């Protein structure tokens, strides 16, 4: 078991003021795999003070210098590739082979891309006696969940460093290990002291202090809608900028003339990826009533192709959920689907004997779902797909938009032009058409209760920028 006893604050490893610790569990066997300190408010204050002191010098660096630091960090992440894979897979259960691809390499590449964006903050315009300039936003608190812990970190850290802000990072209590590795990397490359500060701790204990501290200019939060609301409330009294990347219940419209086999495969694979723990997962599949039975048969087939098993096993396509708690939450939703009258097509609450120690849930598909059922309205965050029938496209669009969320969506139609026409009528921050995949150049964020603000792409950089107008005459 790995044991860590310090926080990375002001360029040093510091003994916490708090004596409390957090046990990190491996969800494949429910055994403790690491122990980290749990910060208290005194630790929070130290980390924020370090970021505050470092801000003037860091925001004054040349963009070329920040670029070099980002590249050096990315190179070192590549050197620590295996450590990052193990840290993520052991703490949240994603199979190692899959972790390499979807959790680590993609994150390194995405982080490296921010090196080419450091001069964005230097750009200005001058028109009609007004010079419009950009400044770094300031001290940023970055709070993340456990499902794609490295990707979520670099999606915030990249633009913060690129534009000249300083940060205090707080990973999810379940997955602190990759952030600790990143702090080691940052120490090694010699990023100026105080630019990056890491504390580990429970959000419900230190979240209020992190998000209300007067030295903090911005909170960038990814997590549940419930916690996101608390973050915004804590930040309100000091008028901070708050970027919230929250939950989803994303619709996937398949039209009658779509390539049914390709569309269903795409939709089922999307939901089962990372054991269903993806905020933008297309968990409501909307299909024409005329093709309903065909879709259900295909979906069952694709879901059952998965090999659910030990993350260390190269054959596993799905590992456990991130924790026993998450497993119980998801199983409750499955029970509620059955009670509400949906038809269980595959999966369910049964867990094979050899997987009983871990937090496993089998790939689950419900048919005969109506959009008013709990399983169609609430984010389950597990490998559970709801198939809903529609009579015509207008009804499909209306069902797609009948949700409190608006994070992502997808359309598979006979051709791209008709898919695009439907996409533009969906109230969601992203729409994937004709089987397209996540792209870190595309701004990502939610309409409605899925959040505020955007990550990735140029819009993601803008979140970390203040505009200053210089009026010249």
Q: Which is nearer to ligand NAD, 166 or 250 (CB)?
A: 250
Q: Which is nearer to ligand NAD, 288 or 429 (CB)?
A: 429
Tell me the closest approach of the beta carbon of residue 204 to ligand NAD, in angstroms.
5
The reply on whether position 94 binds ligand NAD by CB under 6 A is: no
Can you tell me the distance from the alpha carbon of 24 to that of 5, in angstroms, rounded to the nearest whole number?
A: 13
Per-residue b or e along 442-467, where b marks 16 or more CB atoms closer than 10 Å to that residue's CB: bbbbbbbbbbbbbbbbeebbbbbbbe
Residues 6+ positions from 3 with CB-CB distance below 8 Å: 34, 35
CB atoms within 10 A of CB 473: 5
Stretch that binds ligand NAD, among 28-36, 94-102, 167-175, 388-396 (CB under 6 A): 167-175
| x/- track of binding to ligand NAD for residues 168-207 (CB under 6 A) | --x-xx----------------------------xxx--x
The reply on whether position 39 binds ligand NAD by CB under 6 A is: no
Q: Which of 330, 361, 326 is nearest to 346 (CA)?
A: 361
Helices vs. strands in the chain: H and E counts, helices first: 16, 21
Q: How far is CA 76 from CA 80, 83, 183, 188, in A?
A: 6, 11, 11, 8
Q: CB of 315 within 8 A of CB of 401?
A: no
Query: Is residue 345 helix, strand or coil?
Result: strand
Through-space distance between the first and last CA atoms of the chain, rounded to whole angstroms: 65
What DSSP character marks residue 275?
Answer: G
Tell me the closest approach of the beta carbon of residue 208 to ligand NAD, in angstroms.
6
Q: Which is nearer to ligand NAD, 114 or 381 (CB)?
A: 381
Site for ligand NAD in 244-283 (CB under 6 A): 245-248, 279
Tell me the catalytic residues.
245, 279
The reply on whether position 332 binds ligand NAD by CB under 6 A is: no
Tell me the closest approach of the beta carbon of residue 331 to ligand NAD, in angstroms.
16
Cross-strand bridge partners of residue 444: 455
The token duo for 210 is 């992190």
Candidate list 230, 300, 427, 448; residue touching ligand NAD; CB under 6 A: 230
Q: How far is CA 467 from CA 121, 137, 221, 335, 464, in A?
A: 10, 9, 22, 51, 10
- Virtual torsion, Cα 74, 78, 80, 81, nearest 10 deg: 130
Candidate list 144, 275, 323, 440; residue touching ligand NAD; CB under 6 A: 144
The reply on whether position 146 binds ligand NAD by CB under 6 A is: yes
Candidate list 51, 54, 162, 211; residue touching ligand NAD; CB under 6 A: 211
The reply on whether position 141 binds ligand NAD by CB under 6 A is: no
Q: CB of 416 within 8 A of CB of 256?
A: no
Q: Which is nearer to ligand NAD, 7 or 390 (CB)?
A: 7
Tell me the closest approach of the beta carbon of residue 102 to ligand NAD, in angstroms.
13
Q: Which is nearer to ligand NAD, 280 or 393 (CB)?
A: 280
Cross-strand bridge partners of residue 467: 134
Stretch that binds ligand NAD, among 161-169, 179-187, 223-231, 409-417 (CB under 6 A): 223-231
The reply on whether position 320 binds ligand NAD by CB under 6 A is: no
Q: Which of 117, 135, 111 is nearest to 186 (CA)?
A: 111
Stretch that binds ligand NAD, among 8-16, 34-42, 224-232, 291-299 (CB under 6 A): 224-232
Q: CB of 99 within 8 A of CB of 313?
A: no
Tell me the closest approach of the beta carbon of residue 27 to ligand NAD, in angstroms.
13
Stretch that binds ligand NAD, among 45-53, 222-230, 265-273, 340-348 (CB under 6 A): 222-230
Q: Please give the size of the binding site for ligand NAD, defined by CB under 6 A.
A: 28
The reply on whether position 379 binds ligand NAD by CB under 6 A is: yes
Q: What angle do CA 283, 300, 303 make, to 5 degrees?
A: 65
| x/- track of binding to ligand NAD for residues 434-453 (CB under 6 A) | -----------------x--
Q: Which is nearer to ligand NAD, 346 or 403 (CB)?
A: 403
Can you tell me the distance from the alpha carbon of 41 to that of 46, in angstroms, rounded to the nearest whole number?
A: 9
Candidate list 138, 194, 223, 348; residue touching ligand NAD; CB under 6 A: 223
The reply on whether position 18 binds ligand NAD by CB under 6 A is: no
The reply on whether position 11 binds ligand NAD by CB under 6 A is: no
The reply on whether position 381 binds ligand NAD by CB under 6 A is: yes
The reply on whether position 140 binds ligand NAD by CB under 6 A is: no
Stretch that binds ligand NAD, among 25-33, 60-68, 75-83, 221-229 (CB under 6 A): 221-229
Largest CA distance in the chain: 77
Q: How far is CA 445 from CA 11, 225, 245, 261, 282, in A?
A: 32, 13, 6, 29, 15
By the 10 Å C-beta count (0-12 exposed, 13-18 middle, 19+ buried), 121 is classed as buried
Tell me the closest approach of the beta carbon of residue 219 to ligand NAD, in angstroms.
8
The reply on whether position 167 binds ligand NAD by CB under 6 A is: no
Q: Which residues bind ligand NAD (CB under 6 A)?
A: 143-147, 170, 172-173, 202-204, 207, 211, 222-224, 227, 230-231, 245-248, 279, 379, 381, 407, 451
């Amino acid at each position: 078991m790995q044991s860590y006893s310090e926080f990375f604050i002001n360029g040093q490893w510091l003994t916490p003021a708090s004596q409390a610790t957090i046990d990190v569990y491996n969800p494949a066997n429910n055994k403790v795999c690491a122990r980290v300190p749990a910060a208290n408010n005194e630790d929070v204050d130290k980390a924020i003070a370090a970021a505050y002191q470092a801000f003037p010098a860091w925001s004054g660096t040349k963009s070329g210098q920040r670029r070099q630091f980002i590249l050096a960090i990315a190179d070192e992440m590549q050197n620590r590739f295996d450590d990052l894979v193990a840290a993520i897979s052991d703490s949240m259960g994603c199979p190692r082979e899959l972790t390499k691809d979807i959790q680590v390499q993609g994150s390194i590449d995405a982080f490296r891309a921010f090196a080419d964006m450091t001069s964005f903050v230097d750009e200005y315009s001058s028109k009609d006696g007004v010079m419009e300039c950009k400044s770094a936003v300031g001290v940023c608190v970055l709070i993340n969940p456990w499902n794609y812990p490295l990707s979520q970190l670099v999606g915030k850290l990249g633009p913060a460093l690129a534009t000249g802000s300083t940060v205090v990072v707080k990973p999810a209590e379940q997955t602190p290990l990759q952030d600790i590795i990143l702090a080691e990397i940052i120490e090694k490359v010699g990023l100026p002291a105080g630019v990056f500060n890491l504390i580990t701790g429970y959000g419900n204990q230190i979240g209020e202090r992190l998000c209300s501290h007067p030295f903090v200019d911005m909170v960038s939060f990814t997590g549940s809608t419930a916690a996101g609301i608390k973050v915004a409330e804590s930040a309100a009294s000091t008028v901070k900028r708050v970027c919230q990347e929250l939950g989803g219940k994303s619709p996937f419209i398949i039209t009658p003339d779509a390539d049914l086999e390709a569309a269903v495969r795409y939709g089922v694979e999307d939901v089962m990826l990372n054991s269903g723990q993806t905020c933008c997962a297309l968990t409501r599949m909307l299909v024409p009533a005329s093709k309903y039975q065909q879709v259900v048969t295909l979906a069952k087939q694709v879901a059952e192709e998965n090999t659910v098993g030990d993350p260390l096993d190269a054959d596993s396509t799905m590992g456990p959920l991130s924790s026993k708690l998450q497993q119980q939450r998801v199983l409750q939703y499955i029970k509620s689907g059955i009670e509400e009258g949906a038809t269980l097509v595959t999966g369910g609450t049964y867990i094979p004997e050899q997987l009983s120690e871990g937090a496993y849930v089998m790939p689950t598909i419900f048919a005969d779902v109506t959009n008013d059922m709990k399983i169609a309205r609430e984010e389950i965050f597990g490998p559970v797909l709801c198939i809903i029938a529609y009579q015509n496209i207008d009804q499909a669009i209306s069902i797609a938009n009948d949700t409190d969320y608006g994070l992502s969506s997808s359309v598979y139609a006979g051709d791209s032009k008709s898919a695009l026409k439907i996409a533009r009528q969906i109230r969601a921050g992203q729409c994937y058409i004709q089987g397209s995949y996540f792209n870190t150049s595309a701004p990502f964020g939610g309409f409605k209760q899925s959040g505020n603000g955007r990550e990735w792409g140029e819009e993601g950089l803008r979140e970390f920028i203040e505009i200053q107008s210089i009026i010249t005459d």
